[in-house]
Structures are given as structure tokens and as C-alpha cells.
Amino acid sequence: MNRCKKKAKARFVRNFRFLRQGSNSLCLGPVMHVSGLFIYPVKSLRGYAVPAASVDELGFSGDRRFMLIDEAGRFLTQRTAPRLARIDARLTDSTLTLSADHAGQVSVARAPDPAAKLRPVTVWKSPDLLVEDCGQAAAAWLGDFLGFTCRLVRSGDKFARPVLKSAARPGDRFAFADGCPFLIVGEASLAELNDRIQANGGEPVPMDRFRPNIVVTGSDRFAEDHWTRLQIGEVTFRSGGLSERCIVTTTDQLTGERGKEPLRTLATFRRDAHDPTEVNFGTNLIHESKLGTVRVGDIVTPG
């Protein structure tokens, strides 16, 4: 069998399984598999799709390893600065490049720098995190585009942030994401939400409003609510709980403009059972495997 045929056969086996019906017949049935993978190099800036993502101690390699802070060291997000959605962030093996329409670009080193100035910052309930300042050139470019003073910082060798969720175990760490290293969403869940939005007279929203790391197809709607453990490719995950959604989901991830959806519709059927002021969509994940690779097309197996 030549190489092309071997690859085609492997892809076929990965995405489908045989289900036996009766004693002598076989039929094809779809299985859950990864349909999208996304990296967000800078917290609350644009992310991008990748065909595969490797896992390290903090999550997907390169995911949310940078962040913007204000003059007081407080982290910045689209919650208070929706214009952040207009900044594109891209990684190479050695650099992070920020760019925006009609504003040019600026690049900084991706790797930690022992000579960088250290700054203490707080991210939600994680205080006194030591981060590396990425320099004046990045700060000046960001200030010019955003219209206010801020700094770009990077997780470096002195950075350590444990996961604080009840599902966390010793050794579970992550970077600048809100509460967990990963977020997973099923395509069927978004389809159900958009059907309800349209029934309410609104326009459907794209998946990027929820900024997931992993998107799954082939699952039932909101099946991810009930997954406790998952095997995806070479990586084992466990649930970190449902994801509470905020105003960022109402922000167009290309223009920075805000509307009322999807929060308006989520509030009609996805209120948190323990805190009705919150609405949920998607599930947080913690990786038990600290090494490995997840690829688009990988089978998703709940445990």
C-alpha cells in the first residue's frame, strides 16, 4: 500500500467506527472528533486556527502566554476594552507579532528573557504572579493603537500559577486564561444556541465569540456539560466545570463592536443551577497529560 493510501486509510479509521447491527452486518457511524483547534497567544487578543497543538505544563504551547496590563499592573481584557479584538496576534517559533489594520505591526521575542524586567500582576484570584515586561516598543505600539497606556507582559521562568478549580490536583498549572487551561465546545451546542437566537429574532453568532481551544463535532447538544474525563489524541483531560460567560461573547471578534447576543438568549435557558446570575456555555478542561499532541480529526472519547 502506497503512502497516500495509508494516510487515507488512517484518516478514515480515525474519524469513523463500525457499529455491528445483528450478527452478520456492519454499518458506518460517525464518532465525536475534533473539528477545530485554536491558539490565543495574548489574553483577549485575536486567536487563530491550527491543525495540531502540542501540550506542555501550562496548556497548549503558546496559548495565552502573553497579556496586557495597565499602569497599576491589572490585566486587561475585552470586558473593558473591546478594541482589543481588533489586534491580531501570531506566533512563529521565535517571535510574537501583533498587528492591526492601518496600524502596522510590532514583534517581540517569544522565549523568556532572564534580563527582562519582572512585574507583579494579579489575574483574578491569582495574586503576585511574576511576569516579564516585553519592552517599550510593544508598549508604545499598543498605546498608539488602543489610545491608553498599557504594557505587554510574558510568562517567563519565574511565572507559576496553579489552577484553583475544585477539580485541580497538585501540579495543575496554567498561564493567563481565566480559570482553566482549556475550553471545549461542541458544534451541536452552538447550533442549538443559534436556532434559539434566530427564533428570538436575532442573528446567529460564530464560534469565535466563545474563544474555545477545542471544538468537537459529532456530539449531542451540550453533551460537553456532562463529560468528566476525555481522551483526545495523545492527551487525557478532566473537566474543570462549566464555563461562565461574560460580555466578551457579545463582542464581534473582528470589529470590536458589541451587541446583545448571545447573552440575551443564553439567559433564557442556560442559567447556572447554583448561581442564576451566571449563564454557561462550553466546558473548562484540565490536562492530566502534560505532554502530547492534539490534532484536528482526532477522536474524542469520554471516559
How many Cα atoms sit within 13 Å of 277 on the Cβ side? 0
**Dihedrals phi, psi of 302, to nearest 5 degrees:** -65, 145
pLDDT in tens, the chain (303 residues): 554 444 444 443 444 333 333 333 333 446 899 999 999 999 999 999 999 999 999 999 999 999 999 999 999 999 999 999 999 999 999 999 999 999 999 999 999 999 999 999 999 999 999 999 999 999 999 999 999 999 999 999 999 999 999 999 999 999 999 999 999 999 999 999 999 999 999 999 999 999 999 999 999 999 999 999 999 999 999 999 999 999 999 999 999 999 999 999 999 999 999 999 999 999 999 999 999 999 999 999 998
Most distant CA pair in the chain, distance: 70
- Terminal C-alpha separation, the chain: 34
For Cα atoms 295, 299, 303, give the angle at the middle one, nearest 5 degrees: 120
Contact between 88 and 45 under an 8 Å Cβ cutoff? The reply is: yes
The pTM for the full model equals: 0.90
CA dihedral 229, 14, 222, 172 (to 10 degrees): 30
Query: Which H/E stretch holds residue 21?
Result: strand 16-21
Q: What DSSP assignment string belongs to 74-93?
A: BB--TTT-GGGGG-EEEE-S
Q: How far apart are CA 221 and CA 189, in angstroms?
A: 4
* Close Cβ partners of 109 (under 8 Å, ≥ 6 residues apart): 94, 95, 96, 134
Q: How far apart are CA 236 and CA 287, in angstroms?
A: 6
**Pairing of the two strands 214-217 and 182-186:** parallel
Cis amide leading into 262 (omega within 30): yes
